[in-house]
Amino acid sequence: MKWPLLDRIGLLLVVAALAVSWDSQATAQTKAASTPAPSPSNFTDRKSLGSKNAPITIEVFSDFQCPACRNFYETTLKQLIDNYVNTGKVYLVHRDFPLDMHPYSHQAARFANAAAELGQFESVERALFDKQDTWAPNGKIDDAISSTIPPAQLKKIHDVETQHLNEINAAIERDRTMGIQRNVNQTPTVYVTAHGKTEGLPGGGVDYQLLKKYLDFLLRQ
């Protein structure tokens, strides 16, 4: 059987097109496999500030919609970050403990975790607490924090949130479970680990001056 030249060229083109199509699919699959979904432990690392090698680790079980957490953030944590975290003395770990009594705290936690995935946890945490009064009554987080987080960045964060929703929910649940295991019954609850020992501080937040004295005592030991 003899094929006309044009038929042969056509067949070659079809085969080439199929080959290119198969190759691009394989490349896409390879790319997807090389960028795995973030694991819950990745989220914890990305929600932490400071050096892991700091002599003191402070874990804060917190709820973005809880007024006491905002107060603790504004009056204690900001100074702690400036004076102890940024100077390498404290490794500060955020643990999500969204309370069921707050209707938008899960939403805020998901948003903060997505921001963490983009390396923007610190700025988003600050924005969420600074603007808590604005978004807490209606859950309109974007509107409330758009003055500090640019719209393009908000979109990126929401894209990550949508893309990794299951992983983000798992990370939040993991923090919550850890809190329940440690008998956390209010937010904020703070744990301080130094010299191999972990101590729970009284729940509901701690005055910065008192925390400072305790941290200085630990650092002197």
Partner 1 sequence: MASSTVVSQTSPRPGALPRTLLVLGRVALGSVFLYAAYAKLHFDGAWHLSDYHFFFAMMIDSYHILPLWGVQGMAQVLPWFELALGALLISGLALRWVGAATSGLLLVFIGAMVRAKMLGLEINCGCFGNNEKLGALTILRDSSLLVLALAVAIGAFILEKHKATASS
Binds partner 1 by CB under 8 A, chosen from 68, 99, 118, 170: 68
Contacting residues for 128 by C-beta, under 8 A, at least 6 apart:
64, 108, 111, 112, 135, 141, 145
Give the closest residue to 75 by CA, choosing from 171, 163, 207, 203. Answer: 207
Residue 85 near residue 50 (C-beta atoms within 8 A): yes
State how far the Cα of 170 lies from the Cα of 10, in Å rounded to an integer.
52
> Smallest distance from the beta carbon of 209 to partner 1, in angstroms?
6
When asked if residue 75 is in the footprint of partner 1 (CB under 8 A), the reply is no
HSE (side-chain half, CA atoms, 13 Å) at 188: 27
When asked if residue 22 is in the footprint of partner 1 (CB under 8 A), the reply is no
Q: In terms of CB distance, is 44 or 62 closer to partner 1?
A: 62
> Smallest distance from the beta carbon of 185 to partner 1, in angstroms?
7
Q: In terms of CB distance, is 174 or 214 closer to partner 1?
A: 214
Vertex 128, ends 122 and 129: CA angle to 5°? 95
When asked if residue 155 is in the footprint of partner 1 (CB under 8 A), the reply is no
Alpha helices in the chain (DSSP H): 5-34, 40-46, 67-72, 78-80, 105-117, 121-130, 132-135, 141-145, 151-163, 165-181, 208-220
State how far the Cα of 201 lies from the Cα of 123, in Å rounded to an integer.
26
When asked if residue 19 is in the footprint of partner 1 (CB under 8 A), the reply is no
Q: In terms of CB distance, is 53 or 183 closer to partner 1?
A: 183
Vertex 45, ends 194 and 205: CA angle to 5°? 55
**x-or-dash string of contact with partner 1, 23-62, rule CB under 8 A:** ----------------------------------------
Of 184-203, which residues contact partner 1 (CB under 8 A)? 185-186, 197, 199-203
Among the listed ranges 22-30, 41-49, 142-150, 212-220, the one in contact with partner 1 (CB under 8 A) is 212-220
State how far the Cα of 52 lies from the Cα of 91, in Å rounded to an integer.
6
Q: Tokens representing 27?
A: 């490349």
Q: In terms of CB distance, is 4 or 196 closer to partner 1?
A: 196
Q: In terms of CB distance, is 28 or 219 closer to partner 1?
A: 219
**x-or-dash string of contact with partner 1, 157-186, rule CB under 8 A:** --------------------------x-xx
Binding site residues, partner 1, CB under 8 A: 68, 183, 185-186, 197, 199-207, 209-211, 213-214, 217
